[in-house]
Amino acid sequence: MSKIAVIEPEKSYTFAEYFKLNCEPDDLLAYFGYGYEAKSLTLPQSKRELNRLENLKQQLEQNLPYISLTSEMARREFLIAPVLMEVIYYTKARVKVGYSLTVSEQLKGELDYYLQSQSQLLVIEAKNADIQRGFTQLAVELIAVSQAQLAKGDILYGAVSVGNIWQFAVLHSQEQQVVQDLNLYRVPADLQELLPIIVGILELDL
């Protein structure tokens, strides 16, 4: 796969700088030797009862009308953090915030959220807006995690979130392919679909 000149080969880039680039995800991923596909994914789903979801949904519906969500920090604290706290409750996964990773001069920076269970990990990129560019940044982060050999299996999961909307991505290491899920999950409306997916990913056995 030939590299397309969407970035300067001699220049250093952080993950955050890929969000600012005006380029198509397939062109950027091709530069790193990865293919790109967008399709509706069938993601893992936890089969056990997540009996606190309705309470979380009600709390968010009651409180969100009074919260200004114009900044990324507000979206992290009042939309993403409550979801991740529930994920911790069900999975006991470790959550690292602002996780620093350096693979090369063009694959380095901070992962907003790095979730790790006994057998799986999940990378989450938080944004204030523009979920499509957020996906592009997430895809590069997944490539870095894969090249750093942090994942135990051949499939690596990630998600980009603007707080009230989530979208998933899957990286296949052997095929060197990143797939963008066409489905979007809303918070709080789709919590009963979103949480079982996140929990299901972290519960997957290798």
Q: Domain residues of the chain, as ranges?
A: 31-41+53-203
Question: Which pLDDT value is given to residue 206?
Answer: 55
Distances (CA, A) of 42 to 71, 80, 158, 173, 182: 32, 22, 14, 18, 11
Domain 31-41+53-203 has CATH 1.10.3470: no
Burial of 73 (0-12, 13-18, 19+ CB in 10 A): exposed
pLDDT of 1: 45
pLDDT of residue 39: 97
Q: Which residues have CB under 8 Å from 189's CB, separation 6+?
A: none
pTM exceeding the 0.85 threshold for the entire prediction: yes
- Give Cα 185 distance to the centre of its chain: 13
CA-closest candidate to residue 125, choices 143, 111, 106 = 111
Q: Which residues contact 76 (CB under 8 A, 6 or more apart)?
A: 112, 126, 163
Q: What is the pLDDT of residue 3?
A: 52
Other Cβ atoms less than 10 A from the Cβ of 192: the count is 14
Task: Let me know how many helices (H) and strands (E) the chain has, helices first.
Answer: 7, 8
> Which pLDDT score, from 0 to 100, does residue 9 have?
87
List average pLDDT for each run of 10 residues in the chain, which is 206 residues long.
Answer: 69 96 93 97 94 95 96 96 97 97 97 95 96 97 96 93 98 97 98 97 85
pLDDT of residue 79: 97
143, 101 contact by CB (below 8 A) = no
